[in-house]
Chains A and B, each alone.
Chain A
Amino acid sequence: MPKKPSAGNTRPRALLEKIYKTAKTIRVFESEGIKLYRRGLIRGYFHPYLGQEAIATGACTALKEGDYIASTHRGHGHCIAQGAEIKKMVAELLQKKTGYCKGYGGSMHIADIAKGNLGANGIVGAGTPLGVGAALASQIRGSDAVTVTFTSDGASNNGTFLEGLNLAAIWNLNFILVIENNQYAVSTTIEESTRETELYKRGESLGVPSRRVDGNDPLAVYDAIEDCAKLCREGKGPFLIEAVTYRHTGHHVNDPGSYMPDEKKKYYAERDPVNRARQYLLDMTDLTEAQIAAFDAEIEQEFADAVTFAEASGEVSVEEFKEFLETY
């Protein structure tokens, strides 16, 4: 099971601040987003990333400009951690023209190509070969860019996992597969889905250096990805990181998650990733509670402004849509 937070060491304040603000931004986005959903402002699917913030945050913070990520149906966190504009994300969820996909995509299809985010995905497992493809393109064009695909415990039982990771391995690609093992695929437990629940071992079977980290510890994830990314750039890729975590909510906004036992929820709540990022700030920097509270207020304001922006935005008209289709 997860290791203890990588406590004791000191880190640059800028790094810890970035990690905290990113994790907190995801937390606010998801919590407030659920409220918008409940008010009927968002339709379709909404898979909250609550509880898993450390993974996207730690991983994307360790990447450089020009690197790529591929995401999942639970993609808001990755998008934010990769530097997306909150207002364009909210606008997308509200199906507005000012959204990332002009309202054509919605929650499961937000992509931010400019930031190297190849997109969320409605098809479980699709991001693995897509990410390997981005890594292949980088290799062919002689770039040392690294691609991280975020995938999930459920997706690791899909054929795309084996085919994608094996290709990355035989071609020595700059590719890191991050399995976010939140222990469920909807309500199906990991034990019901596989005999070998230590998912990182699947990477080993393909000759890919693989390990497990505490997916609720943003620094543990950061360290793992930073390390792997560096080795990738030395031609030693690919890698697999299994980050063990747990959702705070059900699978999507309309799933009460009644199958999630209280003890487990409690166990992970005590290891809440945002609290941990906050504790790092308190432990390793001279920032005060009041200063952190000011960060929080700023993040909440940014979200509120994003909603105002989105609500004031228009939608793509049917005429514009039909014009777009002429080239389809």
Chain B
Amino acid sequence: MADREIMYRDALREAIDEEMAANAQVFIIGEGIAERGGSYKVTEGLLAKYGKKRVRDTPIAEAGMIGVGVGAAIAGARPIVEILYVDFAMLGMEMIVNQAAKFRLMTGGTGRVPFIMRTQGGTGGGVAAQHSQSLEALFYHIPGLKVVMPSTPYDAKGLLKYALRQDDPVMFLEHKHLYMTKGMVPEGEYVIEFGKADIKREGSDVTLIAWSNMVPRAMAAAAELAKDGISVEVVDPRTLSPLDTGTILASVAKTKRVVIVQEAVRRGGVASDIASIIQEQAFYDLDAPITIVAGLNTPIPFNLELEKASVPQVPDVVAAVRKVLHHDIPMAAE
């Protein structure tokens, strides 16, 4: 079947729509998602199609919404809870961390929690410190949660469809900058399993690992470096938990140099954990220290220039790649 170019938000909508059509257990709740179609227009049209029972607006009650989602999942439904900003998911952390993540183990595997929290994070648009965070590391840290961060419409659709068919709690983290980006998506049915990284660009000189909105920046950096004959392999893990270490390590074995890019603050981040996995399992493959390009250890400032300075930009990625490439060449004093 033919591919079409659609937006990330349309891809998400298609995934929800198709799974709602296929499975009556799927429902969605969130603030302004019904009549208004959601702040990012992901749920537009779903109310008309599936009715008030399965497409519901909620009051501003994140702890409650997340909690009822978890409870419904335990009881066999497949809820999607849309939280406007990942920053607001902090109000529901109890339900995510103590309830959803632990239920399966606490019940000796007899209970399952097919709960999906869809939300979005990241900087952009001057929405300042409480609406701009990249908080994947908080969820990544918690055993029992799946952490999904799609960077393209294709991945967004396939991963969300898969999420709605598996049985564990999923933190489905979108990015505010990506909703209007476009990409090719097949018309036919497909899903993307968790734990399968995607090589977004093949290359042989450096492995560049990036997810979510850092993927387009990594791709832009790779394109720029290609002009100088530098061949960059861009690896998008797509799901951080589970993490496809196999694909990452195979790429490292080939290129011997690694740069990891994350928008989140560096301290305690996922990039640091990936670096630790690589150094432990592929230390002798490496020709240069692993370099991390990450957000500064800061809340996101409102001011545009400071906001930009807080998170990795394309030139930062380009510079990091050059640095790991020239690591073994003595450099002139800076």
Residues of chain A whose beta carbon lies under 8 Å from any beta carbon of chain B: 43-45, 95, 101, 103-106, 108-109, 121-125, 154-155, 157-159, 185-188, 192-194, 315-318, 321-322, 325, 328
- Determine the distance from Cα of A194 to Cα of B305 in the docked complex, in whole angstroms: 42
Chain B, 122-165, CB within 8 A of any chain A CB: 125-131
Query: Please, which residue of chain A has its CB at the minimum distance from the CB of B39?
Result: A186
Checking A105, A155, A157 against B128 with a beta-carbon cut-off of 8 angstroms, the contacting residue is A105
Contact check, B59 vs A95: say whether CB atoms are below 8 A apart. no
Q: Taking the complex as formed, is B297 at the interface, i.e. its CB lies under 8 A from any CB of chain A? A: yes
Query: Please, which residue of chain A has its CB at the minimum distance from the CB of B131?
Result: A122
Query: Please, which residue of chain B has its CB at the minimum distance from the CB of A188?
Result: B57
* Tally of contact residues, B, Cβ under 8 A: 31
Known: A43-B125, A157-B59, A194-B59. A188 touches B31 (CB 8 A): yes
A-B contacts, CB under 8 A, total: 106
Contact check, B297 vs A328: say whether CB atoms are below 8 A apart. yes
Question: Chain B contacts of A317 at CB under 8 A?
Answer: 305
- Determine the distance from Cα of A155 to Cα of B88 in the docked complex, in whole angstroms: 13
- Determine the distance from Cα of A193 to Cα of B36 in the docked complex, in whole angstroms: 15
Known: A325-B296, A328-B297. A159 touches B59 (CB 8 A): no
Question: Chain B contacts of A158 at CB under 8 A?
Answer: 59-63, 91
Question: Chain A contacts of B128 at CB under 8 A?
Answer: 44-45, 105-106, 108-109, 122
Q: Taking the complex as formed, is B332 at the interface, i.e. its CB lies under 8 A from any CB of chain A? A: no
Question: Chain B contacts of A186 at CB under 8 A?
Answer: 31-32, 36
Question: Chain A contacts of B125 at CB under 8 A?
Answer: 43-44
Known: A157-B59, A192-B57, A194-B59. A185 touches B31 (CB 8 A): yes
- Determine the distance from Cα of A108 to Cα of B127 in the docked complex, in whole angstroms: 8
Q: Taking the complex as formed, is B301 at the interface, i.e. its CB lies under 8 A from any CB of chain A? A: yes
Question: Chain A contacts of B88 at CB under 8 A?
Answer: 123
Known: A103-B303, A104-B302. A44 touches B32 (CB 8 A): no
Query: Please, which residue of chain B has its CB at the minimum distance from the CB of A318?
Result: B309
Residues of chain B whose beta carbon lies under 8 Å from any beta carbon of chain A: 31-32, 35-36, 57, 59-64, 87-88, 91, 125-131, 296-298, 301-306, 309
Question: Chain B contacts of A101 at CB under 8 A?
Answer: 302
Contact check, B126 vs A325: say whether CB atoms are below 8 A apart. no
SS of A interface (majority):
loop
Contact check, B61 vs A159: say whether CB atoms are below 8 A apart. yes
Question: Can you add 4 more A-B contacts, CB < 8 Å, to A43-B125, A44-B302, A104-B303?
Answer: A95-B126, A108-B127, A157-B60, A317-B305
Known: A44-B128, A103-B302, A316-B303. A187 touches B60 (CB 8 A): no
- Determine the distance from Cα of A194 to Cα of B87 in the docked complex, in whole angstroms: 24
- Determine the distance from Cα of A156 to Cα of B160 in the docked complex, in whole angstroms: 33
- Shortest B223–chain A CB gap in Å is 26
Query: Please, which residue of chain B has its CB at the minimum distance from the CB of A109?
Result: B128
- Determine the distance from Cα of A109 to Cα of B301 in the docked complex, in whole angstroms: 10
Question: Chain A contacts of B35 at CB under 8 A?
Answer: 187
Known: A154-B59, A186-B32, A187-B36. A106 touches B126 (CB 8 A): yes
Contact check, A123 vs B32: say whether CB atoms are below 8 A apart. no
Contact check, B306 vs A325: say whether CB atoms are below 8 A apart. no
20 A-B residue pairings within 8 Å (CB atoms): A44-B128, A95-B126, A101-B302, A103-B302, A104-B303, A106-B126, A108-B127, A109-B128, A122-B128, A122-B130, A157-B60, A159-B63, A187-B32, A187-B36, A188-B57, A315-B303, A321-B298, A321-B301, A325-B297, A328-B297
Q: Point out which of B64, B127, B296, B302 has the most chain A C-beta atoms below 10 A from its C-beta.
A: B302
Contact check, B306 vs A45: say whether CB atoms are below 8 A apart. no
Contact check, B63 vs A188: say whether CB atoms are below 8 A apart. no
Contact check, B60 vs A155: say whether CB atoms are below 8 A apart. yes
Known: A44-B128, A122-B128, A328-B297. A95 touches B91 (CB 8 A): no
Question: Chain A contacts of B297 at CB under 8 A?
Answer: 325, 328
Closest 4 CB pairs of A and B: A106-B302, A122-B130, A43-B126, A44-B126
